[in-house]
Amino acid sequence: MARERQIILDTETTGLYSDRGDRILEFAGIEMRKRRLTERTLHLYIHPDRDIPEEAAAVHGITLDTLAEKNAPKFAAVGQEIADFLRGAELIIHNARFDVGFLDMEFERMGLPTIEELGCEVTDTLAMAREKYPGQKASLDALCGRLDIDRSKRVYHGALIDCELLAEVYLAMTREQFDLVGGSDDNNGDTPAQNTRTAAPLVRTGRLKVIKADATELAAHAAILDEINQATGGHCLWQPQAREHAE
């Protein structure tokens, strides 16, 4: 069972390798409690204290000029804030190994606890998607398309927009399992959950109540059949004469 407090998390970086000098450029985390988003969000642009390769900037659109305009701090100035925000939560991450690797690297540079040491549980939606949709594409874009989630605002891979999309993807992929244990998203808290468990059981008598059509309904039905019969040149199979001809 998921923890009560969850953080949908994403990062953007200077490259792919946390152990080869790449750094975090952007961090975003949005809080969710009991499968409902709260108003608590942490979104930070971070100066990497190094260059940003063009191929990386082409993906996320972040350059050193962008960070200068935003007066972005270095990770050392915001690392503690990020660690405190994440502490003890379940982290929902798409391709968690990547983001956790970068966060652990940045935390260790500061002498801060790692994700595991912060008491976080990690849920990887990429692994979930590969299990749920074997043999199919499992990228965030592909999942949005499969689950009918609007991704039109995703021009670049931005940490905040990706978190917002991932929250919808995660809720959609896990809705069935929560419905099965009585935790449906449709319960907005106005009705106590126990009401759904203590309601009077449905009694089945084995008899079906038959409601016959009245004269007006029968006449309307006959008129529709006449129209179909005319449109098909007398071949409406619901008309007795057409049915006899077909047989």
Section 62-82 average pLDDT: 97
10 is in an annotated binding site: yes
Residue 197 has pLDDT above 50, yes or no: no
Contact at 8 Å (CB) between 156 and 61? Answer: yes
Question: What pTM value is reported for the model?
Answer: 0.70
Q: Which residues are catalytic?
A: 157
Q: pLDDT class for 211, splitting at 50, 70, 90?
A: low
- Predicted confidence (pLDDT) per residue in 17-42, tens digit: 999 999 999 999 999 998 899 999 99
pLDDT, the chain, mean: 82
Class for the domain spanning 5-174: alpha beta
* pLDDT at residue 222 in the model: 77
Confirm or deny that 51 is annotated as ligand binding.
no
Residue 12 marked as a ligand binder: yes
Environment class of residue 65 by beta-carbon count within 10 Å: exposed (0-12), middle (13-18) or buried (19+)? Answer: exposed
Q: Which of 33, 53, 31, 51 is nearest to 42 (CA)?
A: 31
Q: Which class for 43: exposed (0-12), middle (13-18), buried (19 or more C-beta within 10 A)?
A: middle
Q: Using pLDDT thresholds of 50, 70 and 90, give the confidence band for residue 153.
A: low
Flag whether pLDDT at 82 surpasses 90. yes
Rounded (10°) CA dihedral 164, 165, 166, 168: 90
Residue 10 is encoded by which pair of tokens? 């994403």
CA-CA distance, 64 to 68, in Å (whole number)? 6
